[in-house]
């Protein structure tokens, strides 16, 4: 699942000064600018928030220069690609491209080698309360600072980073509350309560799933262990292994609390502020505010989780194209039968893991018939292995992961509709076969997203007729030259444009996996 990338919430406060023109973009104050507050001002602010201001450095800074710490350096080297460790570091990000930019601060280089700040913010507030966030927002507004928000550091659009920025770090604002009869603020008196859970930004999906298993419920969440449950995953739409059954994350949001650009703490739902609620349900996390909690609808735990590995391979070059083209249509058949999952195309064929709550063997055989038929083509092969997990948490403990940690990765995506899968497969495969395998599409299968929520969220309307997110990306080594990095980035732009030409105006992208 090398291209399955996840991201987190970030905030950019626009036009916070009363004399700023709403039609002009303005450069907010960064470290190194003459407008940057002096150290006495920073220390006074730090005192006002009980010492929660953190000087922020790249994760490898403990192995270099004046920030060298022998013990901490050994820990960093041992845990470098551990996503749990990285989410606990103020200046660490899952994708190194958004931590270092074009700079350098490498974990395995000499102690005397340069450690540049890269894109890491200069100061961060380690927020553990709503009051901390409000104070940080008001301070940023008063000083006209370039403000970003970081939760777990998964944002592959770079929204949680910023060279010389001031950051609000929400990872340590944790808390969850399970309710059997949640009633949103402002709900009409006759409305009935629903089963729900309220989560604060620091809650991460694996921890949420473990807690949900104790409650015998499921929450529609992400497929990476350490992504935050109340951040950019949600505000970008939030695709999920349960999307086919219960919709996207935004379809399950009942209420949210946030701090807006004025420092006000708001409760937002369809009754208190319909427009604001619409905006945060897919409109992105970079303009609306800092989420301080979200309340999701919960669902009864399935009796079991059915899992199937499906593989169709070409055994010769001549059979590769028909195998790949027909696999796209077979994928649609699977999602229309209630399956979600993750898979990829390669120079060998198509490989996927499919998931269905309460799925049966008979349902699987019928749904996978199109893949079986591909395997009957000349010089093609089909294989399928299926089994069940008694509970969702059992699946999570085996399969949930955090790919591409501490690597230089950039990605993009397009949504795949049935029309594209059946009528434009030849063009999609034409393009794919021209690429190197590192850029081949990876699929997140979303199935039929809840049509009842079609006009209530701000995700692109094409989501509701899509069957998969086609992700594709590029990467480079730490030692890559600037020219090589530029070439790789331009390749991603070129691929994105070509995908767009194939899908046409009816296409769309997953906002959290768009081309940055």
Give average pLDDT by consecutive 10-residue segment, the chain, 516 residues.
Answer: 29 30 61 98 99 98 97 98 96 94 92 94 98 98 97 91 97 98 92 96 97 98 95 93 92 96 96 94 84 98 98 95 96 94 91 96 98 96 97 95 87 91 93 76 72 76 88 87 91 89 86 83
Yes or no: say if 263 and 237 are a contact pair by the CB < 8 Å rule.
no
For residue 134, the 8-state DSSP code is H
Task: Identify the H or E element spanning 305.
Answer: strand 305-314
- The fold for domain 39-169 equals 3.30.43
Question: What HEC string does 258-286 produce?
Answer: EECCCCCEEEECCCCCHHHHHHHCCCCCC
Which ranges in the chain are annotated with CATH 3.40.462.20?
305-503
Residue 174 main-chain phi, psi, to 5 deg:
-115, 155
Q: Largest Cα–Cα distance of the chain, in whole Å? A: 75
Which ranges in the chain are annotated with CATH 3.30.43.10?
39-169
The residue whose two tokens read 């931590």 is 99
pLDDT value of residue 6: 26
Which ranges in the chain are annotated with CATH 3.30.465.10?
176-185+193-300
- The fold for domain 305-503 equals Vanillyl-alcohol Oxidase; Chain A, domain 3 (3.40.462)
Whole-number Å distance between alpha carbons of 276 and 173: 23
Q: Which residues does residue 145 pair with via DSSP β-bridges, in sequence order?
A: 29
For residue 401, the 8-state DSSP code is B
Pair type for strands 147-150 and 166-169: parallel
**Dihedral (CA of 352, 356, 361, 364) sign:** negative
pLDDT value of residue 7: 27
Yes or no: say if 312 and 371 are a contact pair by the CB < 8 Å rule.
yes
Identify the CATH number of the domain defined by range 176-185+193-300.
3.30.465.10
Which long-range contacts (C-beta less than 8 Å, at least 24 apart) are formed by 272-276?
A: 272/185, 272/186
Task: Identify the H or E element spanning 468.
Answer: strand 468-476
Name, in order, each residue with C-beta under 8 angstroms of 490's C-beta and a sequence gap of 6 or more: none
């Amino acid at each position: 699942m090398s291209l399955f990338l996840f991201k987190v919430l970030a905030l950019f406060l626009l036009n916070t000064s009363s004399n700023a023109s709403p039609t002009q973009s303005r450069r907010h104050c960064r470290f190194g600018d003459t407008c940057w507050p002096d150290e006495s001002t920073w220390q006074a602010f730090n005192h006002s928030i009980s010492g929660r201001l953190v000087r922020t450095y790249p994760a490898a800074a403990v192995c270099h220069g004046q920030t060298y710490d022998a013990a901490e350096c050994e820990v960093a080297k041992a845990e470098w690609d551990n996503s749990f460790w990285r989410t606990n570091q103020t200046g660490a990000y899952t994708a190194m491209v958004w931590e270092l930019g074009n700079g350098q601060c490498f974990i395995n280089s000499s102690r005397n080698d340069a450690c540049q700040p890269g894109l890491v913010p200069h100061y961060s507030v380690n927020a553990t309360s709503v009051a901390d966030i409000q104070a940080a927002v008001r301070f940023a507004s008063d000083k006209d600072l370039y403000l970003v928000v970081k939760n777990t550091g998964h944002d592959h659009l770079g929204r949680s980073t910023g060279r010389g920025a001031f950051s609000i770090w929400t990872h340590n604002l944790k808390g969850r509350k399970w309710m059997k009869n949640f009633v949103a603020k402002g709900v009409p008196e006759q409305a009935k309560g629903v089963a729900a859970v309220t989560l604060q930004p620091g809650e991460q999906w694996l921890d949420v799933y473990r807690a949900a298993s104790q409650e015998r419920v499921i929450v529609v969440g992400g497929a990476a262990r350490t992504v935050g449950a109340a951040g950019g995953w949600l505000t970008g739409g939030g695709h999920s292994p349960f999307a086919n059954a219960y919709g996207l994350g935004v379809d399950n949001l009942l209420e949210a609390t946030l701090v807006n650009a004025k420092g006000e703490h708001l409760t937002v739902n369809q009754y208190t502020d319909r427009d604001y609620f619409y905006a945060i349900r897919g409109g992105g996390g970079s303009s609306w505010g800092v989420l301080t909690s979200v309340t999701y609808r919960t669902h009864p735990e399935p009796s079991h989780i059915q899992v199937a590995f499906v593989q169709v391979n070409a055994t010769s070059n001549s059979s590769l194209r028909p195998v790949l083209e027909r696999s796209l249509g077979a994928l649609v058949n699977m999602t229309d039968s209630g399956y979600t999952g993750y898979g990829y195309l390669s120079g060998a064929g198509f490989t996927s893991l499919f998931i269905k709550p309460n799925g049966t063997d008979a349902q699987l055989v019928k749904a996978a018939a199109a893949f079986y038929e591909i395997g009957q083509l000349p010089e093609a092969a089909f294989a399928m292995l299926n089994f069940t997990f008694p509970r969702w948490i059992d699946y999570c403990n085996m399969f949930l992961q955090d790919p591409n940690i501490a690597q230089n990765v950039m990605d993009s995506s397009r949504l795949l509709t049935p029309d594209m899968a059946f009528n434009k497969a030849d063009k999609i495969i034409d393009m794919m076969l021209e690429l190197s395998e590192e850029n081949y599409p990876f699929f997140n299968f979303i199935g039929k997203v809840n049509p009842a929520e079609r006009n209530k969220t701000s995700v692109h309307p094409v989501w509701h007729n899509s069957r998969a997110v086609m992700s594709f990306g590029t990467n480079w080594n730490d030692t890559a030259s600037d020219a090589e990095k530029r070439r790789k980035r331009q390749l991603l732009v070129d691929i994105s444009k070509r995908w767009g030409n194939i899908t046409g105006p009816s296409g769309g992208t997953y906002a959290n996996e768009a081309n940055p």
